Structure 1
């Protein structure tokens, strides 16, 4: 009997069925006739034309976050890592009552995102803040503390991975009870569980998973995802 080495096998490589299922299901769950479809498509096109990396969420993932905010009645959300504004536009366009604050370090990304958000007609509800995530979040936390900025009901962290836990802890101080903090890209195509892997992004993902499990007032779970963005996953944490 041959023992299969998981880490050298192709078990975690992209399966075309993942993309096929997204391609089949999404047009049914979100027909092209929906009001935000064109804005979302234009955002991806403009981001690609501007040379931004293809790191945006899949349409299904973007809508999932947007539906969570709707179901939870979120009125103020925070995003760390704007890129071209795709996920921000998803969340805001599906929730007319919601205001989103999104933080981005890269100036070019900020410029592209602001233009995309303006073209989507959402500049009045999406605030793009340019700056280093830790510095900006510390400032936002102070604003929340003194009451000049409302507490957030949802946080999505999708930025430089090595600072994920710092972002998480800063966000934890700014959310309402029973709010969700979601950290993207923690599974790393399964490398999260290969303790021999010392890649900084993988180690940072382990830090988030392990620390969230020990952090008082936090209840978390890691959800593995497959689809057109291949194999990854996010940490989903509720802060009491």
Structure 2
């Protein structure tokens, strides 16, 4: 199977199952026109996050890595009116574009964007915890540290999702010491060794190539 086949299948799923509203479509257009890195979650991945949040009745969500706010919109749209997404973004320009996308969707009351290094923003969130769902999708070298903060800000039953954990199979190559691959590998090893977590990881193929996500529930 080729990446072209994977992408065509993704397109079929999106056309058949993922009805993106004007807010989501506009965000993708704005992000592309602003030349943001083309690393948004795919539409069907975004809807999967949305479904996870709805399945668990999430009211408070922490997102580490905003980019242009596309995944943020999917998560915010899963919340009740009094729900909240706190999303952390390193790049001020990316955060500004995300804020525009969120404002256009009328979701400012449900979303707070914190700008700066996530490891500087995270210690300031104790008053906002615990979170029901935590989505980690930022610089992978810091994933082990993000996991520890996620655990600190969780409760029994909280769900922690990590994106891009396969890296085209490089995560399974112990000889690959790229800092982001190594960060993902340690992130997964920590989850497997932590008695507080029940975790697994799933490989995916599609418009984003060969990758996957991890999902863990706090026991």
Conserved 8 A contact 2:24-2:70:
yes
Gaps of 5+ in 2: none
DSSP 3-state at the match of 2:158: strand
* Alpha-carbon shift at residue 66 of structure 1 (Å): 0.5
Distance 2:59 2:218 in 1: 17
Is structure 2 residue 133 aligned with structure 1 residue 128? Answer: no
Where does residue 170 of structure 2 map in the other structure? 191
Distance 1:62 1:101 in 2: 17
DSSP 3-state at the match of 2:132: strand
Is structure 2 residue 60 aligned with structure 1 residue 72? Answer: no
Once the two structures are superposed, what CA deviation does each residue of 1:179-199 show, in whole Å capped at 9, x if it has no partner?
111111111001111112111
DSSP 3-state at the match of 1:221: strand
DSSP 3-state at the match of 1:176: coil
Conserved 8 A contact 2:3-2:207:
no
Q: How many residue pairs are counted as aligned between the two chains?
A: 218
* Alpha-carbon shift at residue 150 of structure 1 (Å): 4.3
Q: RMSD in angstroms over aligned alpha carbons?
A: 1.4
Distance 1:31 1:202 in 2: 33
Distance 1:203 1:157 in 2: 16
Conserved 8 A contact 1:220-1:235:
yes
Gaps of 5+ in 1: 1-10, 144-148
Where does residue 131 of structure 2 map in the other structure? 152
Where does residue 44 of structure 1 map in the other structure? 28
Give the alignment's TM-score, normalised by structure 1: 0.87
* Alpha-carbon shift at residue 176 of structure 1 (Å): 2.1
Distance 1:135 1:72 in 2: 29
Is structure 2 residue 161 aligned with structure 1 residue 177? Answer: no
Distance 1:23 1:216 in 2: 39
Is structure 2 residue 83 aligned with structure 1 residue 102? Answer: no
Distance 1:201 1:105 in 2: 16
Distance 1:24 1:223 in 2: 21
Whose radius of gyration is greater, 1 or 2? 1
Conserved 8 A contact 2:66-2:88:
yes
Conserved 8 A contact 1:137-1:171:
no
Match of 2:98 among 113, 116, 122: 113
Is structure 2 residue 133 aligned with structure 1 residue 138? Answer: no
* Alpha-carbon shift at residue 95 of structure 1 (Å): 3.0
Distance 2:164 2:175 in 1: 19
